[in-house]
Amino acid sequence: MNRLGRKISIIITASILFVFISYLIINSYFLPKYYLYQMKNRLHDISDEVNKMPMNEFQKSIERIENNNNVTIVSEPISSNIDKFNWTLRERLNQKKVTLNKFWVTEDTFQLTERGKKISKIYDQGKLKSSFLVDFIQKDNVFIVVGVSIVSLNDAVDIVNKFTIYIMITLILLLILMVWIWSKKITDPLKELKDISKEIALLDFKKVSISTNDEIEELAESINEMSDKLRIAHEDLNERNTNLKRFISDITHELKTPLALIKAYSVGIKDGIDDGTYVDTILRQTDHINLLIDELLELSRIEREVIHLEKVDLVKLVNQSLENYAIEIHRNDIAIKREDSGINQFFLEADRDQMEKVFNNLISNAIKYTQNQEIIIRFEDRLDEFIFCIENATNLKGVDQVEKIWEPFYVMEPSRNKNLTGTGLGLAIVKSILTRHKFKHGVTLIEGSIQFTIHFAKNGLR
């Protein structure tokens, strides 16, 4: 038996022992007194009933009263000879099969009853192990004895207590067995929960199967739920750590190249071999570093910035983003093809400034990488959602490239030409904003084109 089982057994056994011992003490000391108290009250009630009856009615009712109440009633006219009077009373009691070796009515008792008082006495019969409890009353110069024989309860109580002890020992042994079985049913699941908690603490996110239909089963379900959530959180943390390491590596790579160029051209200027382009190169690399830092700060700010929801017209917001890039679209001779199915507006709850960054980055990305000088923008109104799509021709071929496209510093231009690729943080910013808004989004390759989609659940604002 484990510690909890032993503790339960000891507590329950001690409680049962306390109850039994208390019962024995009460039996030994209070039961005889209580029994005598009840007998006296019953005898007093009968005496009061007799005292209220007329004498002739009383004489007729003696037998009935005795049979109904299991008492003995005798009466005798008052006599001046006390000894003879007492012998006569004892003889009448003997006739009713009440044999007493100690019974005597004193002169004081006569005097008190003569004044109308009721006198109660108890005559202990010694070796007979009994007592005779009586009430003495006097009416119409007749002395009346109402009595009842009571057995000595001490011996009876001793026998009952001894029997109770035997029963108590048997019950305690049975109780220990039952408590052991019962506590095992309780403590075994708890031990299993303790073991699984240790496994979880060691990052082994196991589950436990317990069916007890009580709070222990609810605790097991809570631990299973906690294990699942901790596993997900742990996997997410590992993924974040991996991403952080890759992110730091990418930042290092992105900063190392321009810094190396700045250093090299600075040394060239110092050595006096500048051909007139060194300063321009240094300025371009410095601008690139500044741009990278600005976008890193923007990504960090978006990650921690509170989202301010408001009613936003999605179609209008896309049109504004297209106007922002109108000059660049015209300069690169890019055709914008709209497929809006007659949709002029669609309202949703979102942060206007952040969603504007999403569309600006997607349009800017499409302008940089389109291979056929065409960008397709599509709005789809479905039963339970509204879908925004932006599509352009691409030279990407593999699924692996598409899966990495949301990662910071990933660029789709293999040559990493900064005039085309920028910093590689634009789509990471898009993903962060859409994830925080809980908008479903994705990217797919379709017959030489890359398509970005955002799904907006209909919320009754349209």
171 found inside a domain: no
pLDDT value at residue 454: 93
Q: Which of 155, 187, 208 is the last residue of a domain?
A: 155
- Owner of token pair 């593999």: 398
317: number of Cβ within 10 Å: 20
pTM for the whole structure? 0.48
User: What is the C-alpha separation between 243 and 148, in angstroms, rounded?
Assistant: 100
Burial 72-97 (b: 16+ CB within 10 A, else e): bbbbbeeeeeeeebbebbbebbeeee
Q: What are phi and psi of 426, to 5 degrees?
A: -60, -50
What average pLDDT score do residues 435-452 get?
A: 89
28 found inside a domain: yes
CATH number at residue 364: 3.30.565.10
84 found inside a domain: yes
Q: Which of 155, 187, 211 is the last residue of a domain?
A: 155
Summarised one tens digit per residue, pLDDT across range 274-289 is 777 788 888 888 887 8
Structural domains counted in the chain: 2
Whether residue 201 contacts residue 223, with contact meaning beta carbons closer than 8 Å, is answered with no
Residue 427 pLDDT more than 80? yes
User: What is the C-alpha separation between 143 and 118, in angstroms, rounded?
Assistant: 11
Report the DSSP pairing between strands 130-139 and 335-339: unpaired
Domain of residue 125, residue span: 11-155
Residue 390 pLDDT more than 90? yes
57 found inside a domain: yes
Helix and strand numbers, DSSP H then E, in the chain: 14, 11
200 found inside a domain: no
Mean pLDDT comparison of 222-236, 254-268, 360-374, 410-424, highest-scoring range: 360-374
Comparing 29-33, 35-39, 137-141, 363-367, the range with the smallest average pLDDT is: 29-33
Q: Which of 155, 179, 201 is the last residue of a domain?
A: 155
Residue 333 pLDDT more than 70? yes
295 found inside a domain: no
299 found inside a domain: no
E strands, 155-238, are: none
pLDDT value at residue 247: 66
What average pLDDT score do residues 444-454 get?
A: 89
What average pLDDT score do residues 38-66 get?
A: 89
Residue 418 pLDDT more than 70? no
Summarised one tens digit per residue, pLDDT across range 115-140 is 888 889 988 877 767 788 999 999 88
Pick the closest to residue 69 from 83, 99, 49, 96 (CA basis): 49
User: What is the C-alpha separation between 60 and 66, in angstroms, rounded?
Assistant: 12
